[in-house]
Amino acid sequence: MEQRVNITFCCKLDRTATETHEMLVKVDAVSKRCVFEWFKRFRDEKEDVKDEPRSGRPPTSTTPDNIERVRRMLADDRRLSLRMMAEELKISLDSVSNIPR
């Protein structure tokens, strides 16, 4: 999202998409295609830098409740493994690893 904010800023400064890409590549490895795509969106008056809502099944494992439970478990015992937390919460190992701690 930070890159999108930077692209919006450069667009408002009347920089070209190429100039913007060159600036961002020095800081972050963002693809040229991505910069050009977002640049076009912002030039066409799309101000919001957030992604559009996606269709499909909503996440069921990384809910606020599970996130809080993982954080509480870690606060109680920092030695817990991801596998142990996944078994306790009855969610996949991948889901536990995607929860920010």
Look at the pTM and tell me if it is higher than 0.85.
Answer: no
How many Å apart are CA 37 and CA 48, to the nearest integer?
A: 14
Give the residue, 6 or 47, on which the prediction is more confident. Answer: 6
Structural tokens at position 44: 């066409």
Residue-wise pLDDT for 55-101, tens only, equals 888 778 888 898 999 999 999 998 999 999 999 999 998 988 888 77
8 A C-beta contact, residue 7 and residue 38: yes
Q: What is the structure's pLDDT at 16?
A: 87
Per DSSP (E only), the strands in the chain are none
Give the tens place of pLDDT for each residue, 20-68.
887 777 666 677 787 788 788 877 776 666 666 778 887 788 888 989 9
Provide the pLDDT for residue 72.
92
pLDDT score for 87: 93
Give the per-residue pLDDT at 46. Answer: 67
